[in-house]
A and B are shown apart, each in its own frame.
Chain A
């Protein structure tokens, strides 16, 4: 089954440039603002959208995404509303791939079968569920693949060559390489090591490899994009929202505009990645 992710990645391959994968927290700081942020992403240059599903206890996330999730929950966001937001987005864009990213419990409580049915109806293309390693594939990964949704796995610096085949086994769409051991939003790892890791993973799979955790600037996006098939930016986008919120959560500027400005710069970074590499 070919998904929007597969089509988008194939198209970018012919263009000879990496994908810009942008993460935002759905519902941060409220539904309407968040939807307008999402709608602005493709125009600003995002190739794939990762929608964060807020969770009360995000164990792999740093302070910025923790805070964004809490703002969203305080604003009344739920998994039901996150799926509705994707559906609202789809009324104006039926091409840009949407990947839901988060933790398993809200999905488990929603009910796996019901969730997959509603996710497909809302135009979701892929899932990244941080706390479902391959050992737990029966929970959601296998049912998602059967339903035609990509299950995108994280590979990390601790995933050695012996373990990689297990991690890649049921992965589809793309592989998300976590550039460092640590939480989201930490400092970017040594880019030389990241490039070597991407090469190592590509030795095990034909899937595109996207790199995330720690990429915040256009320059970093350019350097990482020279070797990776995609660059994931999350914390910087979430911070762009936080930066235009006052102490009581009031908006001091338009969050959608702030995000669009940031993403435009990042998009230039990834678009110059291969040019720079060829120089």
Chain B
């Protein structure tokens, strides 16, 4: 594929049709088209509305606990410097964690949910539906639905219901109805299909609270904008704490909302290297991974054109990742565009590597990271020892790992 010409700014997309280059768009059934146009109209109204911003900022501060801290991960930095010395390199960059795990509900997902629930309220909607993989978005959706008094239905793949049982219980406590989806492998893709079927049926009163920066326009844009608080804060914080921009920023990419949230404010800082980490699962040779940008091809699913895991007939593959939140055969369309434009590098991390990073971070930092975030940390573990000591890396610690202890225990052959 031809590489698109380098734009003057990487932050202007999408265009009016919702396209990031060839990616994005509005590939939905006619029944949903008027709803999406209505959402776009309301979104365009509120995105520059001072009252909306004030209300969201107030909730972010007092309800969600923002700004999240930018933490110098001294234990991990020290460890990686020892690794560097042992290799005879004598380097090891400073590692910072952007602590989205400290947010209310335990991940970055609350940023998007607070924004969208205010939008749903403005639109006069009466009912919230959401899809969830790891359950982090389901919990955040159930949380804001409880806070604002909306009934909430969360679609979740049956496989994920089993491996993320603590989050299922949390959603139920919060008053949401969790509907397990048995189609396909029973993961995020199937949950999203079922949420779309609900939406196409209940068009009058229902707001679809999409959890990642994917789906039909304007979702990729609005989710990104709600999540960009991550990068905006991180950029200001590193300038204050270190007096300069970081050399490298890293985030895990499933659908890609935490990653685009961190990346977007840095896209025009040419000196900052940006790396997205995909789920390499059990390796890219087979089909047991979710590295759509490393091993997939552009296609159309769930309302947008983007890189997808698919066969030669255009049938979507199920993929695999140890992390339910990364277990999705596609990716947000802006990531696909950033990949093709060369601005962001996307690399795979295997299940085993993520698991090692999970254990390491827990041991040397006293922080249990989500398995999703552990993928980003694992890539830092790979590259930091070869960097210089005066260099700086920011890793997005997108969520906390309490939800994953059952999965990790079973991977380690332990019973809890």
Q: Interface size bucket, B side?
A: 35 or more
B315 touches A131 (CB 8 A): no
Q: Check A220 for interface membership: any CB of B closer than 8 A.
A: no
Contacts of B17 in A (CB 8 A): 135
B27 touches A136 (CB 8 A): yes
Contacts of B27 in A (CB 8 A): 104, 131-133, 136
Among B28, B197, B314, contact of A107 (Cβ-Cβ < 8 Å): B314
Report if A155-B30 is in contact (Cβ < 8 Å); known contacts: A59-B193, A181-B203, A183-B200: yes
Report if A59-B299 is in contact (Cβ < 8 Å); known contacts: A131-B29, A160-B34: no
B189 touches A57 (CB 8 A): yes
Interface residues of A (CB under 8 A from B): 55-60, 62, 66, 73, 78-80, 103-110, 130-136, 153-160, 163, 167, 178, 181-183, 186
Among B200, B314, B315, B316, contact of A108 (Cβ-Cβ < 8 Å): B314
Among B34, B300, B312, contact of A104 (Cβ-Cβ < 8 Å): B300
Report if A106-B314 is in contact (Cβ < 8 Å); known contacts: A59-B196, A183-B201: yes
3 tightest A-B CB contacts, nearest first: A109-B314, A106-B314, A182-B201
Contacts of B315 in A (CB 8 A): 55-56, 73, 106
Q: Check B179 for interface membership: any CB of A closer than 8 A.
A: no
Interface string of B194-217 (1 = CB under 8 A from A): 001100111110000000000000
Contacts of B25 in A (CB 8 A): 135-136
Q: Which residue of A lies closest to B316 (CB)?
A: A56
A158 touches B30 (CB 8 A): yes
A105 touches B300 (CB 8 A): yes
Question: What's the Cα separation between A134 and B28 when bound, in Å?
Answer: 10
Q: Which residue of B lies closest to A110 (CB)?
A: B314
Instruction: Identify 17 residue pairs between A and B in the complex whose beta-carbon atoms are under 8 Å apart, listed by A's number.
Output: A56-B315, A56-B316, A59-B29, A59-B196, A60-B200, A73-B315, A108-B314, A131-B29, A134-B33, A154-B29, A155-B30, A156-B30, A158-B31, A158-B32, A159-B34, A163-B33, A178-B31
Question: What's the Cα separation between A135 and B301 when bound, in Å?
Answer: 16
Q: Check B310 for interface membership: any CB of A closer than 8 A.
A: yes
Question: What's the Cα separation between A156 and B35 when bound, in Å?
Answer: 12
Among B30, B32, B301, contact of A57 (Cβ-Cβ < 8 Å): B301
Query: A59-B197, A167-B30 are known contacts; what are 7 more A-B pairs with Cβ within 8 Å?
Result: A57-B184, A60-B29, A133-B30, A133-B33, A136-B27, A153-B30, A156-B29
A108 touches B196 (CB 8 A): no
Most buried by B among A109, A110, A157: A109
Q: Which residue of B lies closest to A158 (CB)?
A: B34
A154 touches B302 (CB 8 A): no
Contacts of A56 in B (CB 8 A): 184, 315-316
Question: What's the Cα separation between A104 and B314 when bound, in Å?
Answer: 9
Q: Check B313 for interface membership: any CB of A closer than 8 A.
A: yes
8 A Cβ contacts from B4-44 to A? 17, 25-35
Q: Which residue of A lies closest to B318 (CB)?
A: A56
Describe A's contact surface by its main secondary structure.
Answer: loop
Question: What's the Cα separation between A183 and B29 when bound, in Å?
Answer: 10
Question: What's the Cα separation between A63 and B203 when bound, in Å?
Answer: 19
Contacts of A135 in B (CB 8 A): 17, 25-26, 33
Describe B's contact surface by its main secondary structure.
Answer: mixed
Question: What's the Cα separation between A105 and B330 when bound, in Å?
Answer: 13
Taking the closest CB of chain A, its distance from the CB of B91, in whole angstroms, is 45
A163 touches B34 (CB 8 A): yes
Contacts of B31 in A (CB 8 A): 60, 154, 156-158, 178, 181-182
Q: Which residue of B lies closest to A54 (CB)?
A: B315
Most buried by B among A55, A59, A79, A154: A59
A79 touches B314 (CB 8 A): yes
Q: Which residue of A lies closest to B189 (CB)?
A: A57
Question: What's the Cα separation between A101 and B342 when bound, in Å?
Answer: 37
Taking the closest CB of chain B, its distance from the CB of A203, in whole angstroms, is 18
Q: Check B173 for interface membership: any CB of A closer than 8 A.
A: no
Question: What's the Cα separation between A103 and B200 when bound, in Å?
Answer: 16
Among A57, A104, A155, contact of B193 (Cβ-Cβ < 8 Å): A57
Among B26, B30, B201, B316, contact of A154 (Cβ-Cβ < 8 Å): B30
Question: What's the Cα separation between A160 and B31 when bound, in Å?
Answer: 11
8 A Cβ contacts from B163-191 to A? 183-184, 189
Contacts of B196 in A (CB 8 A): 59-60
Among A66, A79, A186, contact of B183 (Cβ-Cβ < 8 Å): A66
Q: Check B303 for interface membership: any CB of A closer than 8 A.
A: yes
Taking the closest CB of chain B, its distance from the CB of A68, in whole angstroms, is 13
Taking the closest CB of chain A, its distance from the CB of B295, in whole angstroms, is 15
Question: What's the Cα separation between A55 and B196 when bound, in Å?
Answer: 16
Contacts of A103 in B (CB 8 A): 300
8 A Cβ contacts from B235-254 to A? none
Question: What's the Cα separation between A54 and B35 when bound, in Å?
Answer: 27
Q: Which residue of A lies closest to B35 (CB)?
A: A158
Taking the closest CB of chain B, its distance from the CB of A209, in whole angstroms, is 14
Contacts of B30 in A (CB 8 A): 133, 153-156, 158-159, 167, 178
Taking the closest CB of chain B, its distance from the CB of A135, in whole angstroms, is 5
Question: What's the Cα separation between A256 and B300 when bound, in Å?
Answer: 33
8 A Cβ contacts from B287-331 to A? 297, 299-303, 305, 308, 310, 312-316
Question: What's the Cα separation between A133 and B217 when bound, in Å?
Answer: 13
Contacts of A106 in B (CB 8 A): 313-315
Contacts of A110 in B (CB 8 A): 314
Contacts of B303 in A (CB 8 A): 131
Contacts of B310 in A (CB 8 A): 105, 109
B34 touches A181 (CB 8 A): no
B193 touches A79 (CB 8 A): no
A79 touches B313 (CB 8 A): yes
A109 touches B201 (CB 8 A): no
